[in-house]
Amino acid sequence: MTNLETPDIKNIENGDFRYLLRGQLKSLKDNLQFRKRVVCDPLCKTDTVEIERYPSSAEVIIDGRKMINFASNDYLGLTSHPLITEALKEGIKLYGAGTGASALVTGHTTAHAKLEEYLKELTGKEKVLLLNSGFAANQALIKAHLSLGANLILDRLVHASMQQALFNGKNFYRYEHNNLKKAERLLQKYENTSIFTEGVFSMDGDSPDLQQLVSLVRKYHSYLVLDDAHGFGACGISGQGTPAKQGVSFSDIDIYMATLSKACGLCGAFIAADGDFIDYLVNTSKEYIYSTSAPAYIAHGLLTSLKIINGEEGNALRKHLNELTDYFRKEARNLPGNVILLPSSTSIQPLIIGDNKRLMEISVFLKSKGILCGAIRPPTVPAGTARLRITITAAHDRNDITRLLQTLYDAFNSIT
């Protein structure tokens, strides 16, 4: 009897898609690019919150080992905030578990409407739309522009969620990272353009000069789309993100998009724009129309998260985060071993190692000493720029940073 469920892998021939599949996996492994998941649970940090302890992203447990986590995007440490956890419980009491339908059917609750209203007030935009993820929001944004026949001009390093959607179209042009002179050349060459860039670049931690970009956009009657996934909540007055940090008003950013999954500590994303653009998305975006809306309790919890972010406590968390980042940068300049610290003033602090093999050896060493950092390799970053992506969060303390620096010192000294 032949077993249809477990084909004889050895006998798969060229021409069968599984032959190609095995070849691709082998080549990923050969290039040290093969990815695997690990089970990683947050731990209760012992010296924080007195009232009730919640697991913090600053310390995690992997394979039974405790590690300090420098790989998360929980910039303000809000994933462990007791008030947000309470709000989530309250949200379940008010709205139940799931929404059971997409937003255009019966999945748009009072909690979703209130959250959109809050973000509308905050950004001063005509309308705000919630999406289930930043990935979905960027797909929707790019596809809308392509379907409207715009010429898209993008920073070469924009997030994969934008790059991915581009391949449905032809009219897109990319400029060298943060090089606004190159962007201007494209603006001179094409009409009916939209510029796509990020507030804080996820793998480099740097930012474009937004004041300069805004004047370019006005000069050429272009349209500016900003993905502020790593800026919103984490920087700027009241956590209003990169525009606020650089003294640019939301009214100068035509479309402002941010995730609610990073500094906000939960999940989802929003797009703030003029009313017509949001109406167009509601009516045409497949990501919006054909996906069940996120549970209402998430929206309810996000309202609490945003109030913390925009208030006094948010200011204190950002101040603490900036102090830790400054301390790290000051000390990291003295690290041995030919590594390059990128010029980032945000809590994303990449150290360029270059070679995949050396990066992986360093990463294994750090893990063995209880330090977890992102080990980012091509194709996520350009070839030859494999890096440690260190993210500092407000859930860390000074001792955590001292331990990180000491361990990096040992790693770079012993692995050359």
- Whole-angstrom distance, CA of residue 111 vs CA of residue 91: 8
Point out the catalytic residue in the list 69, 138, 151, 202.
202
Q: 202 or 349: whose CB is closer to ligand PLP? A: 202
Q: Which of 261, 293, 305, 346 binds ligand PLP (CB under 6 A)?
A: 261
- Beta bridge partner(s), residue 348: 391
35-41 contacts at long range (C-beta below 8 A, 24 or more positions apart) = 38/62, 38/63, 39/63
Name the minimum Å distance from CB 190 to ligand PLP.
24
Candidates 21-29, 95-103, 127-135, 335-343: pick the segment binding ligand PLP (CB under 6 A).
127-135
Q: Is 14 a catalytic residue?
A: no
- Amino acid occupying residue 331: E
202 is catalytic: yes
- Plot region of 247 (φ>0 → left; ψ -120 to 50 → alpha; else → beta): left
Show the site string, 136-155: x = touches ligand PLP by CB under 6 A, - = not: --x-----------------
Closest residue to bound ligand PLP by CB: 134
CB contact at 8 A, 59 and 42: yes
Q: Which of 50, 75, 83 lies closest to 395, judged by CA?
A: 75
Question: Minimum distance from CB of 343 to ligand PLP (Å)?
Answer: 19
Is 330 noted as a catalytic residue in this protein? Answer: no
Q: Which of 73, 80, 194, 363 is catalytic?
A: 73
Q: Near ligand PLP by CB under 6 A, which window of 33-41, 134-142, 290-298, 334-342?
A: 134-142
Q: Between 107 and 199, name the residue whose CB sits nearer to ligand PLP.
A: 199
Using CB under 6 A as the binding rule, whether residue 161 contacts ligand PLP is answered as yes
Closest by CA to 242, choosing from 291, 187, 200, 201, is 200
Contact set for ligand PLP, span 194-223 (CB under 6 A):
198, 202
Residues 269-308 that bind ligand PLP (CB under 6 A): 269
369 is catalytic: no
Q: Pick between residue 295 and residue 408 the one whose CB is nearest to ligand PLP.
A: 295
Q: What SS3 string covers 15-70?
A: CCHHHHHHHHHHHHHHCCCCCCCCCEEEEECCCCCCCCCCEEEEEEEECCEEEEEE
Q: Is 194 known to be catalytic?
A: no
List the 151-155 sheet strands across, edge first.
127-131, 269-273, 255-259, 224-227, 193-198, 151-155, 172-175
* Residues 162-201, interacting with ligand PLP (CB under 6 A): 198
Under the binding rule (CB under 6 A), the answer on residue 134 touching ligand PLP is: yes
Phi first, then psi: what are they for 379, rounded to 5°? -85, 0
- Number of chain positions touching ligand PLP (CB under 6 A): 14
Q: Which two tokens stand for residue 266?
A: 């939960």
The catalytic position among 81, 127, 262, 396 is 262
Cα 3 to Cα 94: distance, rounded to the nearest angstrom:
51
Residues 68 and 59: their CA atoms lie apart, in Å, by 5
CA gap 251, 233 in Å, rounded: 18
Q: Does 241 bind ligand PLP (CB under 6 A)?
A: no
161/407 with CB nearer ligand PLP: 161
Active site (annotated) includes residue 108: no
Burial class from Cβ neighbours inside 10 Å (0-12, 13-18, 19+) for residue 218 reads: exposed
**The one among 45, 81, 112, 159 contacting ligand PLP by CB under 6 A:** 159
Candidate list 70, 75, 95, 135; residue touching ligand PLP; CB under 6 A: 135
CA dist., res. 144 & res. 106, Å (int): 24
Judged by CB under 6 A, does residue 344 bind ligand PLP? Answer: no
Catalytic residue among 74, 198, 206, 400: 198
When binding is defined by CB under 6 A, the residue of 79, 80, 109, 133 that contacts ligand PLP is 133
Name the nearest CA neighbour of 295 among 112, 35, 172.
Answer: 112
Would you count residue 229 as binding ligand PLP (CB under 6 A)? yes
293 catalytically annotated: no
**How far is the C-alpha of 291 from the C-alpha of 306, rounded, in Å?**
24
Residue from 59, 74, 155, 227 touching ligand PLP (CB under 6 A): that is 227
- Residue 255: what residue type? I
Which residues of this protein are in contact with ligand PLP, per CB under 6 A?
133-135, 138, 159, 161, 198, 202, 227, 229-230, 259, 261, 269
Active site residues: 73, 159, 198, 202, 227, 230, 262
